[in-house]
Amino acid sequence: MVLADISIFIGRFHPLIVHLPIGILFLAFVLNVIFIKKSDHPLYKSISLIILIGAIFSIPAAAAGLLLAESGGYGDDELSLHQYFGIGLIILSFGVWWFRRRTQNVNIHLSMVSTLIVVLMITGHLGGNLTHGSNYLIDYAPSPIKSFLANNSETDSNRDFSSIDIDSLVIFNHLIAPIFQAKCISCHQDSKTQGGLNLTSTEGIKKGGDSGQLLAEGDPFNSLLFHRVTLDRRNSKFMPPKGEPLTFNEIKLIEWWIDNGASLEKNINDFEVNEGLKKAAKELYLIDLNPVPFIEKIKVPTLVETKLNEIRSKGFRVNTLSGNSNLLDIAFVGKGPITRDHLKAMNEVKENVVWLDLSGSGLQDGLLEGIGEMNNLVRLRLDNNPLTDKGVTHVAKLTNLESLSLYNTQVGDPSIDTFKAMPALKSIYVWQTHVSDASIESLKSSNPKMELVRGFSF
């Protein structure tokens, strides 16, 4: 129902006016307790009058409350509960006043007033929940009380994601929802939907509210959500109207999220992570979105020094990546050409080798088959060898390979197809090969993350 502004204006005085009857009725209760043994005291005798005055004042308070309820934005269940309790309270207070004059029994007096106060407190608490949200009192409670009263609220202390596995981050759930939780949910949840907007459910977000759709996918500046939180603070439509406004990083995150489609389900890996996002995520949630290098993630079997010495004796330089590592960095430094016999020595440590340098070793195509089985290879140097496209097809299996050097070999354009299929490959060195400029350009557009490095001249 569309209300005239005047009705909303008056309705908004309800939280103000209502404190008057509350104070008066409370006074009645206090006096009753203090003067319980002195029922002849004039102050005791005035209690009935006080209750009457309180009851009378609660009528305009309730009227304003009804107008406020009409203006909407309150969860129906909670609203009706408060409403009925409030009306019941008025009736009860009149009743207590009338009944009190009929009896002299001080115990009955006390119990009636106590009941009145209990109903008043319940009504008052429900009213508070309507205004501030049901978590208002719990949010900043000391920890033991908080956990005892814990409900579905995720409060600020849950903002530390530093230990979470990055790959399992769901953008909305982990990055955006906490912002809503902290700054928006108190007025936009199941039990209180200001502006008809409920942010606690997928449907609610998708449906939007009275002012329209919340999100315009891919277009933050035309999204109502983004618009409202970035308005001038003094604007009446600024969100959130009370409490802390969204911080810069939070707004940046929301902007980025909407810009990338405002998905409610997508995982971090489906998104392009830029520097701004990394910074915001780090500052808000202590998440480091920098990709963890492959060599820091993999687990390989332990090495035995004697095995390494065996490989050394065949003409290889063998080093571990670091003092405590089981990852190997191997280079051929012996007398070439390298043969199957040489490579056989590395069979037992196939999984441990991450860096392999066979440049200028006279390596032939056939031998690349064995190398193709070292699936933890990250960097492979095959330059200055008589290799052709045929041999290079064997390295296609190296799904973790990030760098491949083939300069001064006989490879050509057919190998580009091999490279295209390799997911981790970032740099390929093709100077002094038959790879054409045209293919390099075409690869740039199909796989922008791959760099083919040709020869350089000024």
**Residue 389 within binding range of other proteins, rule CB under 8 A:** no
Neighbours of 156 (CB within 10 A): 11
Is 47 or 354 the residue whose CB approaches other proteins more closely? 354
Question: Given candidates 74, 85, 180, 407, which one binds other proteins under the rule CB under 8 A?
Answer: 407
From 132-140, 343-351, 363-371, 377-385, span contacting other proteins (CB under 8 A)? 377-385
**Residue 381 within binding range of other proteins, rule CB under 8 A:** yes
Instruction: Output the smallest distance, CB 341 to other proteins, in A.
Output: 22
Q: Phi/psi of residue 241, each to 5°?
A: -70, -25
**Residue 274 within binding range of other proteins, rule CB under 8 A:** no
Is 300 or 331 the residue whose CB approaches other proteins more closely? 331
Question: Given candidates 325, 339, 388, 410, which one binds other proteins under the rule CB under 8 A?
Answer: 325
**Residue 418 within binding range of other proteins, rule CB under 8 A:** no
Asked if 263 contacts 206 with a C-beta cutoff of 8 angstroms, the reply is no
Is 300 or 321 the residue whose CB approaches other proteins more closely? 321
Could you give the CA distance from residue 47 to residue 27 in angstroms, rounded to a whole number?
9
Residues in region 277-316 near other proteins by CB under 8 A? 295-296
Is 141 or 331 the residue whose CB approaches other proteins more closely? 331
Instruction: Output the smallest distance, CB 422 to other proteins, in A.
Output: 16
Question: Given candidates 319, 347, 375, 399, which one binds other proteins under the rule CB under 8 A?
Answer: 319
Question: Given candidates 266, 282, 420, 454, which one binds other proteins under the rule CB under 8 A?
Answer: 454
Instruction: Output the smallest distance, CB 277 to other proteins, in A.
Output: 18
Is 320 or 388 the residue whose CB approaches other proteins more closely? 320
| Bridge pairing between strands 192-193 and 188-189 | antiparallel
Which of 195, 249, 28 lies closest to 120, judged by CA?
A: 28
Question: Given candidates 184, 225, 284, 327, which one binds other proteins under the rule CB under 8 A?
Answer: 327
Cβ burial 100-138 (10 Å sphere, 16+ → b, else e):
beeeeeeeebeebbeebbebbebbbebbebbebbbbeeb
Question: Given candidates 80, 114, 202, 322, which one binds other proteins under the rule CB under 8 A?
Answer: 322
From 87-95, 125-133, 212-220, 427-435, span contacting other proteins (CB under 8 A)? 427-435
**Residue 321 within binding range of other proteins, rule CB under 8 A:** yes
Could you give the CA distance from residue 17 to residue 164 in angstroms, rounded to a whole number?
49
Question: Given candidates 368, 429, 433, 435, which one binds other proteins under the rule CB under 8 A?
Answer: 429
Question: Given candidates 331, 334, 369, 414, which one binds other proteins under the rule CB under 8 A?
Answer: 331
**Residue 317 within binding range of other proteins, rule CB under 8 A:** yes
Number of residues near other proteins (by CB under 8 A): 27
**Residue 82 within binding range of other proteins, rule CB under 8 A:** no
Is 152 or 322 the residue whose CB approaches other proteins more closely? 322
**Which stretches of the chain bind other proteins, using CB under 8 A?**
295-296, 317, 319, 321-325, 327, 331, 333, 379, 381, 383, 403, 405, 407, 427, 429, 431, 453-458
